[in-house]
């Protein structure tokens, strides 16, 4: 039994759909595309932020271990929240 409002239920369903698409899609997921197509400089920054080694920048997303893939996802979300917070303040 759901005890929230209809708005909260719809928000939850949208979040579940987003997570399914991002992490459990049969096709190549967005994280894999981002990681594999980013420049070497940005990939180095991302791996550093995720706490990974420099050798990880030479791998493709599918070659990373599941724990490393999770760290990349968390680092991307962290950087996304950081940039969203300060958008427009440095222009």
Q: Pseudo-torsion of CA 74, 46, 26, 65, nearest 10°? A: -80
pLDDT score recorded for residue 30:
84
Coil, helix or strand for 31? Answer: helix
In terms of C-beta density within 10 A (0-12 exposed, 13-18 middle, 19 or more buried), how is residue 35 classed? Answer: buried
pLDDT score recorded for residue 80:
87
pLDDT tens figures, 15-35: 988 888 777 766 667 888 899
Picking from 86, 76, 16, the residue whose alpha carbon sits closest to that of residue 50 is 76
Note the pTM of the prediction, 2 decimals: 0.64
Structure tokens at 45: 């920054």
pLDDT score recorded for residue 4:
81
Which residue positions in the chain have pLDDT lower than 50? 91
């Amino acid at each position: 039994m759901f005890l929230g409002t209809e708005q909260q239920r719809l928000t939850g369903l949208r979040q579940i759909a987003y997570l399914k698409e991002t992490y459990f899609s049969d096709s190549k997921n967005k994280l894999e595309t981002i990681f594999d197509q980013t420049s070497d400089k940005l990939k180095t920054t991302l791996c550093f932020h995720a706490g990974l080694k420099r050798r990880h920048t030479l791998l493709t997303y599918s070659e990373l271990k599941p724990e490393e893939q999770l760290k990349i996802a968390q680092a991307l979300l962290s950087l996304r929240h950081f940039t969203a917070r300060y958008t427009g303040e440095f222009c």
